[in-house]
Amino acid sequence: MTISNAHPAICWQDLPNGIVIQESIEERLAPWWPKVFGYHMLSIGPLSQQIEKPQLPIGKEFSLAPKSLVSVVGDYHHLPIQSSSIDAIVSSFLLEFDSDPYQLLRESDRVLIAGGYLFIIGFNPLSPVFTGKLFPAYQTKVPWCGHFFRPSRVKDWLGLLGYQVLADERLLYHHLMTEVHVGSIWQHALEAWLPSSGSVYIIVARKLESPLTPIQEKQKVRQPNWATAPTAGRNTHAKVDN
């Protein structure tokens, strides 16, 4: 199986329980939008564009994908956008279906300004949703045909790029192969006992203006001043009295 640069889901209905997933994400991200200030927001992928962003103090929102129905048609690995010109980026379920997910993050980092926000949404392999990968009937379907990355690995990538993770949240404790009933006792129990096992993760990160640990200049090592040890004076020739 070759994972392409194009997302197999064009709208949320293309995902199993897609509308429930969308509404859960919108509810969890709602408190974040008023905190994002700036002139330009970039929604990468068709699903990111369709997320409601109420009270977003951003002048203009652009959407980008390899196909139409977006503001800009382009490649995720080579964004046709000037460097350090975007104040916030939203990426929804893209890493799972990309041939080079780290390059996607690097390109997002290139166009994001220092202090800008990066919102990453993905499927958590350490959750009930991974169950679908065990059944042949689901292995070729979305989202199980993609490669699920652990949230910890995504955070490691962000750390290498110089980001501070502000939030790492989970939602929807369900395998998604059947209809999701929000508020079920089983989901509440799983959330209480295994809070990190939510099927969907949301990572909110901010690009740092400087590294967390500044590199200090190496101090010159003071060389010891080795001196010849003093020796007691003595005559080399003894005087013999007659």
| Range with the poorest average pLDDT among 39-53, 68-82, 208-222 | 208-222
| Residue 159 pLDDT grade (very low, low, confident, very high; cuts 50, 70, 90) | very high
Distance between CA atoms of residues 150 and 168, nearest Å: 12
Q: Regarding predicted confidence, which is higher, 210 or 32?
A: 32
| Residue 69 pLDDT grade (very low, low, confident, very high; cuts 50, 70, 90) | confident
β-sheet with 112-123: strand ranges across: 72-73, 58-65, 38-44, 86-92, 112-123, 200-207, 163-171
Q: Of 46, 34, 132, 129, which Cα lies nearest the Cα of 90?
A: 46
Instruction: Report the SS3 class of residue 19.
Output: helix
pTM of the model: 0.84
pLDDT of residue 222: 53
pLDDT of residue 217: 47
Q: Token digits for 175?
A: 């395998």
Q: Is 226 inside any structural domain?
A: no
Q: Is 132 inside any structural domain?
A: yes
Which long-range contacts link 156-159 to residues 24+ away (Cβ below 8 Å)? 157/101, 157/102, 157/105, 158/105, 158/118, 158/203, 158/205
- Residues paired with residue 90 on neighbouring β-strands, in sequence order: 43, 119
Name residue, tokens 């709208």.
11
| Residue 10 pLDDT grade (very low, low, confident, very high; cuts 50, 70, 90) | confident
pLDDT digits (tens, 9 = 90+) for 74-103: 999 999 999 999 999 999 999 999 999 999
Instruction: Report the SS3 class of residue 157.
Output: helix
Q: Which amino acid is at 215?
A: I
Q: Is 164 inside any structural domain?
A: yes
Q: Token digits for 86?
A: 């975007």
| Residue 182 pLDDT grade (very low, low, confident, very high; cuts 50, 70, 90) | confident
Q: Is 16 inside any structural domain?
A: yes
Q: Token digits for 117?
A: 């926000």
Q: Is 229 inside any structural domain?
A: no
Q: Is 224 inside any structural domain?
A: no
Q: Which amino acid is at 58?
A: I
Strand ranges (E), the chain: 38-44, 58-65, 72-73, 86-92, 112-123, 163-171, 200-207
Q: Is 130 inside any structural domain?
A: yes
The total number of structural domains that make up the chain? 1
CATH number at residue 168: 3.40.50.150
Q: Is 230 inside any structural domain?
A: no
Q: Of 43, 166, 47, 55, which Cα lies nearest the Cα of 111?
A: 43
Residue 26, CA distances (Å) to 44, 184, 188, 231 in order = 16, 20, 20, 85
The number of angstroms, rounded, from the C-alpha of 83 to the middle of its chain's C-alpha atoms is 19
pLDDT of residue 230: 53
Domain span holding position 171: 12-207
Mean of the per-residue pLDDT values of the chain: 87
Q: Regarding predicted confidence, which is higher, 213 or 89?
A: 89
